[in-house]
Structure formats: structure tokens, C-alpha cells
Amino acid sequence: MRIILLGPPGAGKGTQSERIVERYGIPQLSTGDMLRAAVAAGTPVGLEAKSIMESGGLVPDAVVVGIVADRVEEADAKRGFILDGFPRTVEQAKALDTMLAEKGIALDAVVEFVVDENALVGRIAKRAEETAARGQPVRKDDTPEVFKTRLDAYKKQTAPLSDYYAGTGLLRKIDGMQPIDQVTREVVSLLDGFREKAVS
Ligand code: AMP
């Protein structure tokens, strides 16, 4: 099973990814997590990405596409994967199409979490508070100012992917404003239809 989770920052992609990982045993490939790891490790990619991420902008397509191309080759991704935070531009989506076609594999679905933009700032503030309360480091881009830039980037560069994937027939929309468990139920009922492929 190969799926993309689409939705603005704070829509619940990370939370739902964790649950999908647990239920279906496929890895979550989060470009945000991979880039944060590269920044922490001080790799050349990390050095290039650091300031862009801190300001809420998007890392160049070529950098991110390269990271994903390497990651999908790893053994744990052979049976499937969840892409979280990628693609984020139509260019990235086209690069992904080419990459998957070359490997002879295809996406099963693109799940979009539809959320009320006004609720997102509150969600991000809550995420930062809860992370701090657990004694974990808070993401530098989870501040209200940077969040606004991230949301603007989403609206300009990522939201057009909804139409892109609607055009391919892969898009499925879920109301992301529902309680977390209800969103999970709807995701699961959708993905159970693809389960056969996940174990084949
Ligand atoms: P995320 O954890 O998905 O919210 O991503 C955090 C930050 O990493 C974003 O604000 C971007 O700066 C960068 N990033 C993550 N994924 C991508 C991507 N697919 N394309 C460009 N930049 C990305």
C-alpha cells in the first residue's frame, strides 16, 4: 500500500501516520522528519535546509526529491509507505510520478485532511505546549509567526496538489476537524480496501 497524506501543517498528518504505521506495518516517510535529522546531523543537505526550515519556507524540490528517491529504496519501504509532507509542490508530484513509474510501482491513494484554517494556529500552539510539557524540544517553526509563513507556503504551493490528484482519480478527502479517533476510523475504512495490496 502506497499512500500520500495531504493537508496543511497541523491537519493531523503526523498523528494519523503513527496510527497507520502501527496498523498496516508500513513506514512513514516524513520529509520534515528526514530534513530535521539532516539538520541535527549537520549534513550538507541539513546545512542547506536549516535556515529555510526555520523561516517556514520550502526546501528546493531537487533536494527533497533526492531524499525521497533514496528512502523509498530501503528495505522497509518495499511493501509500501506513507508519504507525509511530500510532495509539497506540483513539481515534486511530477517527479514522484516519474520516480515511481521507473520503479514500476504506483500510488494507491492520496488522502487529504480538510481542515478549517482558523483552527490550525490553535492546534500548533497546543502541539508546542504538549511537546514542552513532555520535556521534548519544541520545533523552531511551531511559533505563530513562522506558522503563518508555512500556511502561506501550503496555500500557494501545496494546495494545488488537491486538484492535481483529483485529476488522477487518486484523491480521497476526509474531514480533519472531527475528533482524532473518528478521523482514524475513516482513514482505516478507506485503507482497508487497499490492504490486500499491502500484503501481496
Ligand atoms: P513538516 O514537518 O512536514 O511540517 O516540514 C517542516 C519543514 O521542512 C517545512 O516547513 C519545509 O521547510 C521543510 N519540508 C518538509 N517537507 C518538504 C517538502 N516536501 N518540500 C520542501 N520543503 C519541505
pLDDT at 196: 58
Please give the C-alpha separations between residue 171 and each of 67, 73, 109, 131, 199, in angstroms, as whole numbers: 24, 25, 6, 32, 22
Judge if pTM exceeds 0.85: yes
- Looking at ligand 1, which residue's alpha carbon is closest to its atom 5? 32
Candidate of 18, 35, 148 to mutate for ligand 1, largest count of ligand atoms within 8 Å of Cβ = 35
* Residues paired with 96 in a beta bridge: none
Atom of ligand 1 nearest to the CA of 92: 19
Q: Does the CB atom of residue 52 touch ligand 1 within 6 A?
A: yes
**Do 127 and 142 touch, CB atoms closer than 8 A?**
yes
CA 131 / ligand 1 centre spacing (Å): 19
Q: Does the CB atom of residue 8 touch ligand 1 within 6 A?
A: no
Answer CATH for 2-26+79-115+173-199 from 3.90.1640.30, 3.40.50.300, 3.40.50.620, 3.40.640.10: 3.40.50.300
Task: Per residue of the chain (200 residues), give pLDDT as tens.
Answer: 999 999 999 999 999 999 999 999 999 999 999 999 999 999 999 999 999 999 999 999 999 999 999 999 999 999 899 999 999 999 999 999 999 999 999 999 999 999 998 899 888 888 889 999 999 988 888 888 899 999 999 999 999 999 999 999 999 999 999 999 999 999 999 999 877 554 54
Domain boundaries, the chain: 2-26+79-115+173-199
Annotated binding site for AMP: 31, 36, 57-59, 85-88, 92, 139, 150
Query: What span, in angstroms and rounded, lies between the C-alpha atoms of 34 and 54?
Result: 15
Q: Does the CB atom of residue 85 touch ligand 1 within 6 A?
A: yes
Secondary structure (3-state) at 142: coil
Please give the C-alpha separations between residue 190 and each of 3, 101, 157, in angstroms, as whole numbers: 11, 24, 26
CA 59 / ligand 1 centre spacing (Å): 7
Of 34, 101, 41, 40, the closest CA to residue 63 belongs to 34
Task: Give the DSSP H or E segment for 5.
Answer: strand 2-6
pLDDT at 194: 75
Query: What span, in angstroms and rounded, lies between the C-alpha atoms of 47 and 44?
Result: 5
Q: Which amino acid is at 95?
A: A
Query: What span, in angstroms and rounded, lies between the C-alpha atoms of 152 and 172?
Result: 23
